[in-house]
Structure 1
Amino acid sequence: MDNQSPFEQFDELRIDASSKLFLAEAGKWTTFLAILGYIGIGFMILAGIMMISLGNSAGMYGKFFPMGSGLILGSTYLVLAGLYFIPINYLYRFGSNMKTAISSNNQASLTRAFEYLKSHYKFIGILTIILIGLYILIIIAAIILPVGAIR
């Protein structure tokens, strides 16, 4: 009796012509989205630097922007830009390796492309778990702490 799963019965998976077209199109779109992501990161870095440099200048602080808020907001933008870079970079590498794999029938590039796609989704998944945990902690803190203690 054979105890192999249906997936283990295949020595290799083959990519047919329609799958090849779908993967080529996915590679083009992910490269496009990654380039837009890099541009967004550039704007985030620019905004962060501007907030740090201009946020504490005369007349920029008051009731809504206390002294030092430019440094805090600008630093937050820079940290978020760095965090955003990781999945965007994985996405770009997936797209570029997928285009190379499809155009030259290169199995190593195809494997690397899927490795980068896996890393992209793994990073997004871990980040989502962390954010859900933070949301739960914030909700618990909002329930436990009195309203006056937050100010």
Structure 2
Amino acid sequence: MIHNPITQLEQLTITNASKNFLKETAKWAKFLSIIGFILIAIMLVFAVFATTIFELAGKMQPGMPESLGLTMTVTYLVLAIIYFFPVYYLLQFSNKMKTALSTKNDETLAKAFEMLKSHYKFIGVFTIITMSLYALLIVAAVFGGL
């Protein structure tokens, strides 16, 4: 009897060991997402006070650019917004996975894995963008330095 790979996947079952691994993964995902949201909150607080902090620093350290505070505010706001999405997806994965395992609901399980996919897709795309920017900066530095 020849098994179609798609049919085999449709009949995939979660063993007790797999269920325990997924439960533990969901717990760690929740922990990491909570830490992520705390760090986002710290970034937002810093963004709110960055202008004041760098204005005071500029008075103590002459020659510091006046727009540095505004630049830091915008930078930390942008970073907080960017960081929000993967942390949110991780939290959604955790919540949906816990629900799926307790209710044995296939649709919720699929949604949990969709959130995990979204988390890693976001991280992957962001990594590609970051590496591309680094490569561009290196090329600009090499040609700008000649």
Percent sequence identity is 42
Deviation for aligned residue 1:30: 0.2
- Tell me which residue corresponds to 2:6: 8
Preserved CA contact (<8 Å) 1:94 1:116: yes
Distance in 2 of aligned mates of 1:86 and 1:125: 13
Residues 39-73 of structure 1 deviation map (CA, whole Å, 9 limit, x = unaligned): 0000000011110344335716632x310100001
1:67 is paired with a residue whose SS is coil
1:75 is paired with a residue whose SS is helix
- Tell me which residue corresponds to 2:21: 22
Distance in 1 of aligned mates of 2:29 and 2:60: 40
2:62 is paired with a residue whose SS is coil
- Tell me which residue corresponds to 2:111: 112
Describe the shift of the 1:86–1:61 C-alpha distance in structure 2 as closer, same or farther (beyond 3 A).
farther
Count the aligned residue pairs.
144
Describe the shift of the 1:60–1:3 C-alpha distance in structure 2 as closer, same or farther (beyond 3 A).
farther
**1:130 partnered with 2:129:** yes
Preserved CA contact (<8 Å) 1:47 1:77: yes
Deviation for aligned residue 1:3: 8.9
Report the RMSD for the aligned CA atoms in angstroms. 1.9
- Tell me which residue corresponds to 1:97: 96
Describe the shift of the 1:69–1:122 C-alpha distance in structure 2 as closer, same or farther (beyond 3 A).
same
What is the TM-score when the length of structure 2 is the normalising length? 0.90
Describe the shift of the 1:103–1:86 C-alpha distance in structure 2 as closer, same or farther (beyond 3 A).
same
**Unaligned runs of at least 5 residues, structure 1:** none
Distance in 2 of aligned mates of 1:89 and 1:61: 39
Describe the shift of the 1:60–1:70 C-alpha distance in structure 2 as closer, same or farther (beyond 3 A).
farther
- Tell me which residue corresponds to 1:42: 41
Deviation for aligned residue 1:103: 1.4
Deviation for aligned residue 1:12: 2.2
Describe the shift of the 1:74–1:60 C-alpha distance in structure 2 as closer, same or farther (beyond 3 A).
farther
- Tell me which residue corresponds to 2:86: 87
Deviation for aligned residue 1:74: 1.3
Point out the structure with the larger helix share: 2
What is the TM-score when the length of structure 1 is the normalising length? 0.87
2:13 is paired with a residue whose SS is coil
